[in-house]
């Protein structure tokens, strides 16, 4: 499985790009949905990273039953699903009260 090891940088770069796009989206988008989508991208980037390293380990060590990378990424997917549910509910509530989902407008907590 040396192929995966040699292609590892490509996976990592891809996950980095994915994460960066997500981060930029989370920081820069004005719509709460956009921010939410950015967070989803970051989570997926991180999950890809876990899977890539799990695969690398599989190729290097024979008969390895170490599964933490896969399980972690599964958890991330579950977490993302829950987050989607919660976040969409919040977004709906916010829209319900103020007829907008612009994150900068919801700043009642400012000091």
Partner 1 sequence: MNDMLITLALAIVILPLSAYFIQTIVGDRLPRQGDWLSTGAIFGSFLCALRIFAEMWSQFRPDWVVQKTWVWMDLSTLNIPWKLEVGVRLDNISATMLLMVTLCATLIHLFSTGYMRDHHGKPEDGYRYTSFFSYLSLFTAAMLGLVISDNFFTLFMAWEVMGLCSYLLIGFYRHKPSAANASLKAFMTTRVGDLGLFLGLLAMFAILKSFRFDDVYAGINSGAFANETIIGVSAAFFIGLGIFIGTVGKSAQFPLQIWLPDAMEGPTPVSALIHAATMVSAGIYLIIRIFPMLEYGGVLPIVAYIGGFTCFFAAILAIKQYDIKKVLAYSTLSQLGYMVLALGVGAYSVGFFHLITHAVFKACLFMASGAVIYAMHHEQDMRHMGGLKKKLPITFTCMLITTMAISGVPGFSGFASKDLILGNVLGYAHLHPEHYLLVFFAFATAAMTAFYMFRLIFMTFWGHPHDHHHYDEAHEVSWNMWLPLAVLAALSFCVVYTGSITGLGFDKIFGSANEWILKLNPAPHVEGMESSRHALEEAAHHVHTPTMIISILVAGCGILFSYLVYGSKKISAAKLESLWPNFVKKAIDNLYYFDWFYIKVVIQKLFLPFSAQNAKFDDAVIDRVAVDGWKDVTMLGQKASGIFDDMVVDGVMVDGVGGTLPTMLGTSLRSLQNGKVQRYLMVAVVALMLLFLFRGVV
Q: Where are the alpha helices (H) located in the chain, listed in sequence order?
A: 2-28, 32-60, 68-98
Judged by beta carbon, residue 9 or residue 20, the one nearer partner 1 is: 20
What SS3 class is residue 102? strand
> Residue 8's Cα: distance from chain center in Å?
19
Judged by beta carbon, residue 76 or residue 87, the one nearer partner 1 is: 87
Stretch that binds partner 1, among 2-10, 56-64, 66-74, 98-106 (CB under 8 A): 98-106
Size of the site for partner 1 (CB under 8 A): 13
**Which residue bears the tokens 């967070």?**
39
Cβ contacts of 42 within 8 Å, gap of 6 or more:
18, 19, 22, 23, 26
**Quick one: which of 57, 70, 100, 106 contacts partner 1 (CB under 8 A)?**
106
Residue 110 lies near partner 1 (rule: CB under 8 A): yes
List the structure tokens of 95.
């829209």
**Which residue bears the tokens 């933490």?**
68
Judged by beta carbon, residue 70 or residue 106, the one nearer partner 1 is: 106
Q: Fill in the DSSP letter of residue 103.
A: G
Residue 62 lies near partner 1 (rule: CB under 8 A): no
| Contacts to partner 1 from residues 1-60, by CB under 8 A | 23, 26-28, 35
Residues that bind partner 1 (CB under 8 A): 23, 26-28, 35, 103-104, 106-111
């Amino acid at each position: 499985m040396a192929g995966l090891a040699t292609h590892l940088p490509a996976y990592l770069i891809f996950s980095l790009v994915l994460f960066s796009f997500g981060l930029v989206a989370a920081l820069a988008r004005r719509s709460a949905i956009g921010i939410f989508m950015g967070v989803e991208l970051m989570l997926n980037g991180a999950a890809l990273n876990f899977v890539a390293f799990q695969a690398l380990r599989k190729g290097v060590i024979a008969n390895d039953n170490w599964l933490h990378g896969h399980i972690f990424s599964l958890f991330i997917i579950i977490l993302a699903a829950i987050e989607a549910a919660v976040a969409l509910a919040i977004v709906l509530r916010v829209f319900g009260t103020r007829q907008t989902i612009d994150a900068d407008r919801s700043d009642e907590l400012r000091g």
